[in-house]
Amino acid sequence: MLKNAEADTKRAHFNFKCNMLQTACSCRKKMAVIECEKTGENIMDRFAELTPVFFKKAVVFPGSLGKFRYRFQHNGKMNDGTIKMWVYEDICFEKAQNVDQAEFPWTKEGAAELRAWLNQKYEERMM
């Protein structure tokens, strides 16, 4: 029975129109590999779950990926509002001194820009 589950996990690749492959690892954390349109290179999207609908979960939402901390706050409504993002050090947000922030439209395109920005900040801070 376990071998079948492992085989299913290995086969759990789905093609999307945007050249994204999405898989679930054993902890069921969604990860995506995006094919760069310019170079054809595969890029890891660690924040694939951050879609416009995801941001409806809360007005302010803190998150982390290991020691990488981020926080968002949405203003307005989906397709007509903005999402403000902060990336900060491994400490509570209120005490963080090394904080980067950016603001994005609360749209599908804005969410893609936001994920690209978060991936870039992750690379800068964690690699």
Segments making up each domain of the chain, as ranges: 1-45, 49-127
Q: Does the pLDDT of residue 58 top 60, yes or no?
A: yes
* φ/ψ (deg, to 5) at 106: -85, 70
Model confidence band, residue 127 (pLDDT cutoffs 50, 70, 90) = confident
CA distance 25 to 21: 13
Q: What is the pLDDT of residues 99-112, one digit of tens each?
A: 999 999 999 999 99
What contacts 10, CB < 8 A, 6 or more positions away? none
Model confidence band, residue 46 (pLDDT cutoffs 50, 70, 90) = confident
Q: In 14-79, which residue ranges form alpha helices assigned H by DSSP?
A: none
Q: What is the model's pLDDT at position 38?
A: 54
Can you tell me the mean pLDDT for 50-60? 93
